[in-house]
Structure 1
Amino acid sequence: MTDTARNADTVAASAGTDRGIDGDWVSRLADEVVVEAKRRGMDTIVCASGISPSGPVHLGNLREVITPHLVADEIKRRGIACEHIMSWDDYDRFRKVPFGVGVDESWNQHIGKPLTSVPPPPGSAHDSWAEHFKAPLVDALTRMGIDFRGISQTQQYTSGAYREQILHAMRERAHIDEVLGRYRTKAADPAAVVAGQAKKLDADQEAAAAEAAEGSGAASEDDGTAATGYYPYKPYCDICQRDTTTVTAYDDETTALTYTCACGHGRTVLLSESNHGKLVWKVDWPMRWAYEGVVFEPSGVDHQSPGSSFVVGGQLVREIFGGERPVGPMYAFVGIKGMAKMSSSKGGVPTPAEALEIMEPAILRWLYARRKPSQSFDISFGQEIQRLYDEWDALVRKVTGDSAQPGDLAAYQRASSTAAGELARTPHPLPFRTLASVVDITTGHDDQTLRILSELDPEDPLESLDEARPRLTCAENWVDTQVAAEDRTRVRVEPDAELLSGVGESEREELRVLLEGHADPALPRLEDAWSLDGLTTQVYGVPKVLRGIEADAKLRDPELSKAQREFFKLVYRLLIGKETGPRLPTLLLAVGLDRTKALLGH
């Protein structure tokens, strides 16, 4: 067993205590959920998520899934029976055509139909809109080690699983209307609530507040009120398949329900037999809490404003369905740096599947595990991804060296493993920024890539590229998708004769020392320094020794730093025609010894 795994096991053991780990929000929530389940007398604890596959399920939606997963996983680690259910809200209405998903305005004809009755985008391998957007999320969650039991609401409603609950809600419609009436006059505008949250973040998110509230299940959501009276059930039209219907009458004794539709069709059906409709959202959600016995389910800020579904649901689940509202913390926004709050209705926002193209699963899990659900944060796909990998590698070193703080140790353990075991990891992890630089220079040439990577550390050489994957694959994908063509590194084919002829004596001496070495033993010939560490000492040491400073001396000197920067600019210009580029030691390894000498005029 590795030191990292052994220390993670120590965390798992300590997480099994009643109090959990100091600074670990997962343990604290798990404590609360276990106590609540015991009070209810439940043998198996149910944690729930709900996702509507109305479009690409983005990284903001992932918080809806990963928060219950982490809590359920912690409970399982304690040896307590627990299940994470995923309610696929695929019987929801198709509200609008998203942007950027490969469909045109002709899909407007399907607005109002259940998501499982809408055809998928052209070329899809799936048979419905809902399945098309569910599939990549399921695959991503599997890669992330997130285990759950999926529940299709289309299957539940059309099979009659909720028939008794629907009939009961219709009998209790006056009571439901009275409960909802308590909140209608004091319901906050959900866009204002979201805007208030956004003001704590940045201007981009504040500007997207109205979009955040739209279709969120908050106070603006249809609660069943109509001019014909209050009915908590909304049928789908038998002719046009849309929910553009109005219930005009209902008989409690016979369960005869009469509706008219905007398409001109009208019909009377027996609700004790018909399975072509659903409860309105504010009644549907608390019904399912009671039906599934949910003990834990978080929700977004827009669900927890006064008069919104989580608040009203707490009354309805108790007074109508004889159940209890789950422990339900509010979770905050997750954004993409430089992009307003994510919305799947607009398209073009990154999904978990896309994030996993450039992030190892443990790192994506870590982004969520290390922060309380109430803490908002941004995810960057730009240059910051290199710093994210650096931070993760630093954490791994702390865990391995037994110097990590309890909270950080817990976050690491939850990111890198589940109750079922450890996630797959890169066997020979190299710094992401180094991999990205090498891939940038070699343009994906495997032989060249292996040559360079195997020379990074002569004491622990990489034997095959497979040892560096999946991190190497992530670096390749990042360079291909996130680095603009004008920012790619292109090594000169021929030396820059004009530049070489114009360098001064001091610059020429710097190049000579870099290539031929110095009397200082820490600065040998370039070929004898040919490793990542050796070349690092070499390039930083040249300006030092020419100023009478030992090559491996550690000191802070503004003048020396300026001289180093100027020296680096010269080498970059000679190698790639720019004044900046990949870290110079990595660049030298990538260019190769002979070509480096030639380009530097040797």
Structure 2
Amino acid sequence: MFWTEEVAAKCNGPQIVNDSKTPSGRVHVGALRGVLIHDAIFRTLREKGIEARYLFGVDDYDPVDEIPKGEDEHFGKYLGWPLCNTPAPHGAPGDMAEYYMKEFWGVFDELGVKVERYRMRDIYRAGQFNEAIDTILRNADKVRRVYKEVSNSDRPAHWYPFQVICEKCGAIATTEVYDYDGKEVSYRCLSGKVVNTKLNLGRGCGHEGKISPFDGRGKLPWKLEWVAKWVAFPVTIEGAGKDHSTKGGSRDVSEACLRAIYDKEPPLRVPYEFFLVGGAKMSSSRGVGAGARDMADLLPPEVLRFLMIRTKPNSPVNFGDPEKGINEESIVKLFNEFDRYHQRVNRDKTATPDEAIVYRLAEMQPEGDYANANFQVISALVQMPHLDTVKEIEKRVGRPLTEVERRHLDERIASAKLWVERYASEEEKTKLQETLPARAQELNAAQRGFLQQLAAALPGTPWEDEQLQGKIFEVARLTPIEQPVAFKAIYRVLLDREA
């Protein structure tokens, strides 16, 4: 049974699926794994006639605790502030959260992910969490106990689970609430607390005050914010990344707090592993890995959905090579696997039930069977300026392309051009040589003889794939020379490559 079917089998009655993102920098592609896992669950529920909603929140009341790579000068002075109160960089209008989410929302639209959006600034400021804040603060002793029992984390007796926005300096990361009288909290902006110790930036101002915790004057720590969301929305399904789902981790703490304070059972948990590029986990602040926008530009939407959905959530998705990144082998393999699923589902009718579900959840809309051009062929053709890629593909198909086929081909042409421009190594690029390259001097006598005989045979050979390949095999056999050695000679002379 496919993993989305397993999740759906556990559901009874209307469901609310929730996910969220803290936009602390340009959103990396790893964040799309959670987005598409929740989308696959949502679509499966709707397919089965189960009433469902998919909520996606912007956690923009979280503090600026790290600086996006290369943005030290702008963001350094705002460390500790809520994201939504921090001006956008480069003189752009709006705030930091909106600035980085705008690009991410565009990726949602292109991938066909339809969610009900919410921003935590609006939730807090509209008073939607007031009741939860009051309840959690009145049960601070239970929260402290859960932290100790579940994660072995000690909180002093004066600690309350709430972060006030300092009335003097505007920071939220450096404040500590130490009392609650049912109407107001007493807090300190800790002068001994520094958000970024490496740069010595984001130090608390030392102000002390008393203020209402309601209507956006502060926020719950995110482990308790999870609890408030589950109760207020209310959430029935929410996944979490591997780093939150370990024993004694943040998800365990949040679930235990929900049970202790509200005597409720938590949402269905769907833990998922990381998305890795070349074996590396991505980070917005450190600039590690590809951005979500970059990957959506590189891969057509149905191929990117396929990449994220086909693997069970509790297994990592690793795309690319540890040393070479998104290399030719990895991207060609991905497209070929998608094409195999497409053929099994639509043409051969040999797909397993799981393969059929994967393909259905990956495609943007049902389109039936159509001819998909091989990505490796396309990537070679787009590097041949004297050839028209569309006409060359139509030759191979043997007829004009349909509207659907042309649209998918145009997407693959764009992907191939981008891959060559941004990701391909010099060895992976294809460039016809106008003069004999230096490495041609490495050819042995058999290779030279093979090339001379091939040059003599080609003028009388039909310029079609099968006939050309057959002629190469025939000349290699007659030379005689082993086929791999013969092809290496062609690559060296025409493309200045080894393979």
TM-score when normalising by structure 2? 0.86
Read off the aligned partner of 1:80 and give its amino acid letter: I
Shift of 1:466: 5.5
Alignment of 1:122-133 (within 5 A): 122=90, 124=92, 126-133=93-100
**Partner residue of 2:305 out of 360, 365, 373:** 365
Q: Deviations over 1:334-383 (max 9, x none)?
A: 2111x522222311421222112221111111122211111113112212
Tell me how far apart the structure 1 counterparts of residues 395 and 491 of structure 2 sit (CA, whole Å): 21
Superposed CA deviations along residues 265-293 of structure 1, whole A, max 9, x for unmatched, are: 33222335x52101112211112111112
Q: 2:4 aligns with which of 10, 13, 26?
A: 26
Contact 1:95–1:111 (Cα < 8 Å) also in 2: yes
Partner of 1:478: 419
For 2:260, the equivalent position in structure 1 comes to: 319
1:235-246 aligned at under 5 Å gives the runs 235-243=164-172, 244-246=174-176
Deviation at 1:258, TM superposition (A): 2.4
Q: Percent of aligned pairs with the same residue?
A: 25
Instruction: Say yes or no: does 1:103 pair with 2:71.
Output: yes
In the aligned structure 1, how far is the partner of 2:470 from the partner of 2:246? Answer: 58
* Counterpart selection for 2:290 from 314, 336, 350: 350
Larger Rg: 1
State how 1:46-195 maps to structure 2 within 5 Å: 46-99=16-69, 102-122=70-90, 124=92, 126-185=93-152
Select 2:273's aligned residue among 324, 327, 332: 332
Tell whether the 8 Å contact from 1:429 to 1:471 is kept in structure 2 after alignment.
Answer: no
Shift of 1:45: 0.8
Q: Which amino acid aligns with 1:30?
A: A
When residues 302 and 466 of structure 1 are mapped into structure 2, their CA distance, relative to the original with a 3 A threshold, is closer
What does the per-residue CA deviation read over 1:552-592, in whole Å, with 9 as the maximum and x for residues that have no partner? xxxxxxxxxx6212222333333234443xxxxxxxxxxxx
Residue aligned with 2:299, SS: coil
Counterpart of 1:468 in structure 2 is 409
Deviates more, 1:50-59 or 1:339-348: 339-348
**What does residue 536 of structure 1 align with?**
469
Residue of structure 1 equivalent to 2:194: none
CA contact (8 A) 1:514 1:542 kept: no
SS of residue matched to 2:493: helix
Mapped partners of 2:369, 2:77: distance in 1: 47
Q: CA deviation at 1:170?
A: 1.7
SS at match of 1:94: coil
In structure 2, what residue type is equivalent to 1:393? D
2:336 aligned to 366, 374, 390, which one? 390
CA distance in 1, matches of 2:83, 2:315: 32
Secondary structure in structure 1 of the residue aligned to 2:383:
helix
Contact 1:93/1:112, CA 8 A, preserved across alignment: yes
One-letter code aligned to 1:249: D
Give the 3 Å change call, closer, same or farther, for CA 309–462 of structure 1 in structure 2.
same
CA distance in 1, matches of 2:302, 2:446: 51
User: Quick one: structure 1 residues 544 and 397, their matched pair in 2 at CA, closer, same or farther if it must change by over 3 Å?
Assistant: farther
Contact 2:431 2:495 in 1 (8 A): yes
- Shift of the 454–72 alpha-carbon distance from structure 1 to 2, 3 Å rule, reads closer
Distance across 2 between alignment mates of 1:462 and 1:181: 65
- Sort the Cα spacing of 1:569 and 1:324 in 2 relative to 1 into closer, same or farther, 3 A: same
Q: Which residue in 2 is equivalent to 1:4?
A: none
| Preserved contact between residue 84 and residue 98 of structure 2 (Cα < 8 Å) | yes
For structure 2, the 5+ residue unaligned runs are 190-203, 321-325
Q: Give the number of aligned pairs.
A: 474
Structure-2 change in CA distance of 1:504 and 1:231 (3 Å): closer
Given that residues 17 and 237 in structure 2 are in contact (C-alpha distance below 8 angstroms), is that contact kept between their aligned partners in structure 1? Answer: yes
Report deviation, 1:463. Answer: 9.0
SS class of match (1:231): coil
Pairwise CA distance, 1:495: 6.2
Alpha-carbon separation, structure 2, partners of 1:506 and 1:96 = 58
- Partner AA of 2:171 in structure 1: R
Q: What's the CA shift for 1:297?
A: 0.7
The residue identity in structure 2 corresponding to 1:172 is N
**Distance (Å, rounded) in 2 between the aligned partners of 1:506 and 1:385:** 31
Given that residues 507 and 567 in structure 1 are in contact (C-alpha distance below 8 angstroms), is that contact kept between their aligned partners in structure 2? Answer: no
Superposed CA offset, 1:292-338 (max 9, x none)? 1211111122222333221122222233235320110221122111x
The CA deviation string for residues 182-230 of structure 1, in whole angstroms up to 9 with x for no partner, is 2253x6xxxxxxxxxxxxxxxxxxxxxxxxxxxxxxxxxxx9x457x02
Residue 488 of structure 1: aligned partner: 429
| Partner of residue 495, structure 2 | 576
RMSD over aligned Cα atoms: 3.0
Residue 499 (structure 1) shift: 6.7
In the alignment, structure 1 residue 563 sits paired with structure 2 residue 482: yes
Is this contact kept in 1: 2:86–2:95, CA < 8 A? yes
Q: Which of 163, 185, 195 matches 1:234?
A: 163
Say if 2:151 and 2:253, in contact at 8 Å, map to a contact too: no
| Partner secondary structure for residue 59 of structure 1 | coil
Partner of 1:216: none
Aligned match of 2:372: 429
Letter in 2 for 1:183: V
Q: Does 1:307 align with 2:248?
A: yes
Partners of 1:426 and 1:382 in 2: how far apart? 29
Are residues 1:287 and 2:228 paired? Answer: yes
SS of 1:393's partner is: helix
Residue 412 (structure 1) shift: 1.2
1:264 paired residue number: 206
For the residue of structure 2 that corresponds to 1:30, the secondary structure is: helix
TM-aligned CA distance change 1:505 to 1:292, over 3 Å:
closer
- 1:461 deviates by 4.9
Cα distance in 1, alignment partners of residues 213 and 497 from structure 2: 73
Residue 313 of structure 2 aligns to a residue in which SS?
Answer: coil
The CA deviation at 1:467 is 6.2
CA change 1:542–1:398 in 2 (3 A) is farther
Q: Secondary structure at the match of 2:236?
A: strand
Shift of 1:433: 0.5
Aligned mates of 1:498, 1:74 — CA distance in 2: 55
TM-score normalised to structure 1 length: 0.72
1:428, 1:468 within 8 Å by CA — same for their partners in 2? no
1:401 aligns with 2:348: yes
Q: Shift in Å at residue 542 of structure 1?
A: 2.5
Q: Aligned pair 1:378/2:311, yes or no?
A: no
Which SS does the other structure have where 1:271 is aligned? Answer: coil
* Residue 211 (structure 1) aligns with: none
Judge conservation of contact 2:40–2:361 (CA < 8 Å) in 1: yes
Alignment counterpart, residue 460 of structure 2, candidates 503, 512, 525: 525
Structure 2 residue matching 1:329: 3-state secondary structure: strand
Report the Cα offset of residue 473 of structure 1: 0.5
Deviation at 1:92, TM superposition (A): 0.5
Q: Partner letter of residue 163 of structure 1?
A: N
TM-superposed deviation, 1:514:
5.6
8 Å Cα contact 1:426/1:471 also seen in 2:
no
